Structure 1
Amino acid sequence: MSTETTTYNDKQLKLINHLQHMSSSTVCNAQIWKFNGFNIPVVQTMDEVRSLGLQGLPSYLKDEISNSVSFGPELLYTEFVQALTEINREHAASVLEAEEAEDRARNRLKSVTDMLKTPEIDWLVEDKIHRSGLFQIFGASYTGKTLLVLDLVMSWCAGLDRWQGYKLNNDGKPQEAVYVAAEGGAALSVHVDAWLKYHKDVDPSRLNGLVFLDGGEGHHMFLGIGKEQPEPEDGFMRLVREINEVDITPSLIVFDTQIDLAPGIDENSNTDMVGVLREVKRLGDSLGFMAIVVHHTGHDGNKARGASGMMGKCDVQAKLTNIGTGKAKLEWTKVKGRALPQDTISYHIQGYREIDGFDSEGAVCVPLSKLQQGIAEHVAARPSEDLQREVMNAISSGATSARAIADALGMNKDSAKLREALKWMQEATQIVKTGSGPKTAYSLSALSVAPSEY
């Protein structure tokens, strides 16, 4: 054994300070000290053992007669580990603080050459959804928002190569995610069951990395934004702790729905709503996950409900629209860093009534072909027979401009309902449009028939 006095670095001395008042036991032995980088000295007398022990230091006492050594003092192992963990955490924090200070001191300006070195966007769904940040999906009731998002999450976590026809960048390997289901309960459970039964080739074990916070059981996750501050047991940090306890690193966290993130906020307030999305985006960017928030449309059905400033905080935004009973279409309204995609996703919500032999009470999103989508949209846009008849009567009476038709029907000339009716009737060859702008005129087609006969 070496008889040299040990030299302790700052980290070791800090650990010693934590340990020096701890009670003795036979658990924290010499091997533990050595494993943690301590060179234990060999001393000749008990006075030296006591002197080092008062400092919280271990030592070997050499027996001159037998030429053997004994170890002491011994420390409580759990307290030793706790102190070491705290020091490691403080050390990591100090390193992070130093890195952040270095970042703050670094000149942030880039040259043209530096800009050309900017890395490509890291995609979760190729050219559609980023790997981290914020994705808001909004739509009217019964468009299948939860079903479509659940389909995305389960496809991603199962390691499928595609979602609704789009490439998933998961290398075919299972992934990890968290679904915060504010409503949750049986309504969500049956759809999880349906997805697994529809995707019979997916081994359920591939979804071990997907976990749910079930609001149906009274479990919640609130952000500390707005007038009503959440209790600690409902805050985001508890969710982080629970995620750590189940030992996953989620690349996706879904918040369904957005309004349930911060009770008491004003949906029409840019301050409140942008604050919510800013915090969600900050969490996604800092912790490296894509945050998906599920939201509703406003009264006109074209925009997300509430404050107008929400879109600016999103990295990705998409709208769901009904295109017929049980059918919907997803359109991209924003993809940061890319031109607005023109392609869409369309699907039919199907369950045991539509799928033969499907033994589940839940439903799944079955993709529609482009032809099926076109037919569904045409049928869904079909104006009522009364409106068709009124338009044809107005044109027959000499009202050939959109303004004249609107006046004849007692409608606003900018009415979306009238505009869509005129478009549909052209596609159905009931009326013919000529000219453009102020010279636009409508006439009856030679093939036009009474609406009841069409």
Structure 2
Amino acid sequence: MEATLDSAAILEESNRIPKEIPAWVRQAVAKMRAAGKPDHEILTTAFERNADKNPLGDVPEFYEVLGYQIPTVTTDDEARELALAGRPYWIGGEFSLDGDAAKHIDYAAQEAQAATQDAEYWETSPNRLKSVADFIQTPEIEWMVEGRLHRSGLCQIYGPSYAGRTLLVLDLVMSWCAGLEEWQGQRLNTGGEPQQAVYVAAEGGAALAVHVDAWLKHRGIPASRLSGLLFLDGGDGDHMFLELQKGRRDEPSVDHRDSWNRLVKEIVHAGIEPSLIVFDTQIDLAPGVDENSNADMVNVLRMVKRYADEMKFMAVVVHHTGHDESRARGASGMKGKCDVQARLEAVGSVGSGKARLHWEKVKGRAKPEDSLSYAIKGQALLPGLNSEGAICEPIGDTDVAIEKFKAMKPEDELRWKIYYHVGREGASVRSIAEVTGLSRNSKKLTDALEYLCYTKELICIKPKTKGAAKRYAANMVELDEEE
């Protein structure tokens, strides 16, 4: 019975000791306390065991439980004296029993050195995190093209062939560098002063030079006013490729003669600080990358954006559309890396010489509902131009509507198939689609029906009952006149 009571007493004493202390230490202390020994005797036993290199407890909490205030020492002599008495101590931020102060003093020196290095780090690399109060003091967005194109960041402009991608971007660059205050009807924040830019023309050569010549002649602006505009001419075999690491990290992915670093040195040597750099085209930035890979293409655009943010310029990359002309060719993740993304579409039939630019994304603003339309004009439309190149001029919504309407006109064969099939009695869209061999929802058939109704060759008969399909019939007046 007595043994049971002793065990219970030991367990009770053990439970009073913090759980952070090892179980065997709690057991040893509990036994001595259960035997009625006071804390100072338990401490004496602990110190004796420590001195014999057989410590009863090597965690500071053990001594604190027994009421021992662990001293802090700074010298080897102080540490050795306490260690010989089996008493623990603090040194250099560490708990010790061994009396070897030297290693702790070295550690303290290392801590001091680390603290110095840490202070130097924060002095050269201040904390970038902002409080709410500081964050809301962030300056307002600065615009190159008011409300559409930022002063720095990344813009991707994409469109199909014959939509005038290069001509439109060239017009932007030259207007900016000439200090004009308007571009295609949009406000340019030049303050009337010439600006500086670089045009990386991967496909350059004479094909681009004639358009530069045409722009200057049409505007009547001397080349000297655009002294801040420089070209990297791919027609001369000069390129700029991004160094995308795909293999060994110690092997450069491109020749240093074509690197971004070389271009930066050339810009500095030329004595300009470009606020706009155009990369025409995007795919020429990194030959060999997989355009359909989000990882590859996001990496390309991330690198361009980092350069633009670091050097405070707006990077404009010119890109193509894919089979679906409503989106940029390749990876879907590109839009997310852009501050601005704009889509070009040809207006009317291919080769109409007219196009429209839609703003798909403008960071910091709701998606703009407006667009800008322009016509590509050369000597044929501007007889006095005296240049082999072409320029872009803004056009109004009426011109756009006319071109779109012209493009809707069906070929004669399709026109007569529809006209004589529907007759006076009329026919449903499904029936017309079967006769013409077109899908009932195809744009070609929809445009043809809309065009023929507009020219009053057909009339649209709206259903009288809910759920019934509408029908198209030949306009009897028009039909009688032709007969």
- TM-score of the alignment, normalized to the shorter chain, above 0.5: yes
What RMSD over aligned residues (CA atoms) do the two structures have, in Å?
2.9
Aligned to 1:381: 408
Aligned to 2:308: 284
Aligned to 1:432: 460
Aligned to 1:400: 428
SS of match in other structure, 1:411: coil
Q: 1:393: how far off?
A: 4.4
CA distance in 1, matches of 2:467, 2:304: 47
Structure 2 residue identity aligned to 1:386:
E
Aligned to 1:248: 272
2:228 to 209, 215, 218: 209
SS of match in other structure, 1:102: coil
CA distance in 1, matches of 2:443, 2:368: 24
**1:377–1:271 Cα change, 3 Å:** same
CA contact (8 A) 1:351 1:361 kept: yes
Residue correspondences, number: 352
Aligned to 1:372: 399
CA contact (8 A) 1:121 1:130 kept: yes
Where does 1:224-239 land on structure 2 (aligned, <5 Å)? 224-225=243-244, 227=246, 229-239=253-263
Flag the structure with larger Rg: 2
1:222 to 228, 232, 241: 241
In terms of mean alpha carbon deviation, does 204-213 or 434-443 score higher?
434-443
SS of match in other structure, 1:365: strand
* Superposed CA offset, 1:348-398 (max 9, x none): 211222212221111111222322222122213333233333344454475
CA contact (8 A) 2:426 2:471 kept: no
1:336 to 338, 345, 363: 363
CA distance in 1, matches of 2:466, 2:223: 58
Q: 1:413: how far off?
A: 3.5
Q: 1:195: how far off?
A: 0.6
In terms of mean alpha carbon deviation, does 178-187 or 335-344 score higher?
335-344
SS of match in other structure, 1:340: coil
Q: 1:438: how far off?
A: 5.9
The answer to whether the aligner puts 1:359 opposite 2:383 as a matched pair is: no
CA contact (8 A) 1:226 1:263 kept: no
* Superposed CA offset, 1:210-244 (max 9, x none): 00000000000001126582111111111111000
In terms of mean alpha carbon deviation, does 437-446 or 351-360 score higher?
437-446
CA contact (8 A) 1:433 1:440 kept: no
CA contact (8 A) 1:194 1:364 kept: yes
Aligned to 1:12: none
SS of match in other structure, 1:137: strand
Alignment TM-score, normalising by the size of structure 1: 0.71
**1:445–1:391 Cα change, 3 Å:** closer
> Which ranges of structure 2 fall in alignment gaps of 5 or more residues?
1-117, 248-252
Identical pairs, percent: 52
Aligned to 1:443: 472
Where does 1:161-176 land on structure 2 (aligned, <5 Å)? 161-176=181-196
**1:95–1:204 Cα change, 3 Å:** farther
Structure 2 residue identity aligned to 1:441:
K
Where does 1:54-65 land on structure 2 (aligned, <5 Å)? none
Q: 1:161: how far off?
A: 0.7
CA distance in 1, matches of 2:453, 2:299: 45
Aligned to 1:58: none
Alignment TM-score, normalising by the size of structure 2: 0.67
**1:433–1:193 Cα change, 3 Å:** farther
CA distance in 2, matches of 1:103, 1:447: 79
Where does 1:71-150 land on structure 2 (aligned, <5 Å)? 98=122, 101-104=125-128, 106=129, 108=130, 110=132, 117-150=137-170
Aligned to 2:198: 178
CA contact (8 A) 1:143 1:322 kept: yes
**1:426–1:359 Cα change, 3 Å:** same
CA distance in 1, matches of 2:165, 2:402: 22
CA distance in 1, matches of 2:477, 2:290: 50
